[in-house]
Chain A
Amino acid sequence: MSKYAHELEVGDPIEPRFFSISPEVNQQCLFAQEDFHPRYLPRADGEAEIVHPAIALQMLANTKSPSYKVPEHIAAILTETYMQFFEPLRVGKNYVSRWQVARTYTKRDKPYHEIRGEISDEAGRPVARRILQLAYIPKAD
């Protein structure tokens, strides 16, 4: 049985997530972000439009792993993050997100994880990387 997210230790497996972003999902994000820049919309020249970067942020959240789970009484809080792009994601292309627990630590008596995530394309080239600092805290009654 897989562990809850807050129980993971360095080296524990996290299931990867394979995905492709459709034009509809991309445009849903444009509405969510109030960002309708033409770079994110279908192009006349046939080149695939750019996926809104906020979707890449989402797809690099460890919550997107099929194996992610937390118990009802625990909340995972994103406190700090680093992000780097190597190229824009494109609508319709196939990608995979992978994660690893880089370290576990305690801060102000709360357990933290440093999660390193990477999106790569079908050729295995890194497209984006993210480092997440996550705190796990009991939910208020």
Chain B
Amino acid sequence: MSNTTSTPFEAASDERALVRTGLPRKVSLARLQAFSGGAIGTPGWPTLNLHTDQARAEASGLAAPIASGMQAEGYMIALVLEEFGEEWFNGGSWSVKHVGMLSPGDVAIPKLRRAAEGADPDTVDIRCECPDGRLIVFGSASAPVKSRD
């Protein structure tokens, strides 16, 4: 993956756009293992893979274990639920691209940008980035659509 840095959300062309910043997450090996290592209490926990184990990460050509992309997506969920409420579970959606990786010691900051007044109120921009601007995941989230078809 490329070392992509982002244009700050705060530098949106429309200054009236609301930017909401979520709780910064300090990425740690313990939390990576909790997410990607299987259920605690399983014999041999954690399952060894490139998310949970240094040796496995190095065998995959990585300098350190990396967070699952889904773990980074999960950081943004709290913000999306703050924005749309729990009703978002009843038809809400999102679409994201994974462009960066998180390792223990990194800080991940989820952000949400709502369009300014007059624009589509049912779609927001979302991203997860590091304090140095390195972009991890970005995309958009949308309000519920009722149909299951």
List residues of chain B with CB under 8 Å of any chain A CB.
1, 23, 25, 31-32, 34-35, 39-41, 50, 59-61, 68-71, 73-75, 77-78, 81, 86, 88-98, 145, 148
Residues of A near B71 (CB, < 8 A) are: 32-33, 54
Question: Beyond A25-B39, A37-B78, A58-B70, is A139–B60 a contact (Cβ under 8 Å)?
Answer: yes
Residues of B near A57 (CB, < 8 A) are: 70, 73-74
Find out whether the CB atom of A39 lies under 8 angstroms from the CB atom of B86.
Answer: yes
Complex CA–CA separation, A77 to B50 (angstroms) = 12
Find out whether the CB atom of A35 lies under 8 angstroms from the CB atom of B35.
Answer: no
Query: Does A47 lie at the interface of the complex (its beta carbon under 8 Å from any beta carbon of B)?
Result: no
Find out whether the CB atom of B60 lies under 8 angstroms from the CB atom of A34.
Answer: no
Residues of B near A25 (CB, < 8 A) are: 39
Complex CA–CA separation, A77 to B10 (angstroms) = 30
**Main SS class of interface, A:** mixed
- Across the two chains, which residue of chain A brings its CB closest to B147? A86
Contact-residue bracket for chain A: 35 or more
User: A68-86 vs B: 1/0 string, CB under 8 Å?
Assistant: 0000000101111111111
* Residue among A29, A32, A79, A139 with most chain B CB within 10 A: A32
Complex CA–CA separation, A39 to B81 (angstroms) = 11
Find out whether the CB atom of A81 lies under 8 angstroms from the CB atom of B86.
Answer: no
